[in-house]
Structure 1
Amino acid sequence: MKFETGMENNTMSPSDSAECAGCAANPALLDDFKHAIHALGGKWKLEILFALMNRAIRFGALRRSLDGITQHMLTAQLRELERDGLVLRTVLAEKPLRVEYELTDAAYGLLPAFRELLTWSKAYGARGHAAAREATLGAELT
């Protein structure tokens, strides 16, 4: 039995794309890709970056904007994002002490990638979610 996903016509071999020509054979490119995925991959990291897209935000306001995140998790993820050069932490000499977080230029460089992810999600995300719901519903009915 052959399963069709609907993506058969959208596939291409690596040699069809000049952008990825030789990607699989180049360990340095794989290392760069792994670094990028590690910097962005982590619970809450993308949500944190998205929340910081428009302005610098104080810790408490950032936590309130991310429903369900714990203080410990937010602190840990912000430290990793800061270590990876994506978030800047600024301590303002005020009483009481005020700390703000904002995106670095490196993080703003991700905007085109975020736009592409949103475009992809609009085109394919809802369909994938709907198909998963239908499959679950179908399994429950049988």
Structure 2
Amino acid sequence: MTEVIIFKLKQEEGYFDASGFDDSELSLVPEDTVCLSLENASITDAGISSLPRLKELRCIDLDSTKITDESMDVITSFTSLEEIWIEDVGITSKGFKKLALLPNLKYVSFWGTEISDDAYDYVMEKLPNLKSEG
């Protein structure tokens, strides 16, 4: 398995577990969050759009949430993002391609998604050092 940072950051200051949150609570995420876990949270695109500006965000886990391509515009605004987990979500090839806008992205896990080879190749061409699983 590729070395990922989420497991290291869980032990450090700046890790925020919002896996029990719903859309109405996402505005409460601290702005200095470095690693945000939303795994299995009852959140949608509407909730993602209410996240504060997370300038220091390095890692986000969105596994098994109800997000779609619509959330990718907000997610790609977190330009410090190095790692993203988007397993079992409603992101398609169109949304996946937006990952190419994240210059610091080093790792993506996208198991259980419908990403085309063309979309994958597009992102890998733009981010040749990106490690991925999915």
Into which bin does the TM-score normalised by the smaller protein fall? under 0.3
Normalized per residue, the structure richer in helix is 1
Scaled by the length of structure 1, the TM-score of the pair is 0.22
Q: Give the TM-score normalised by structure 2.
A: 0.23
- Which structure has the bigger radius of gyration? 1
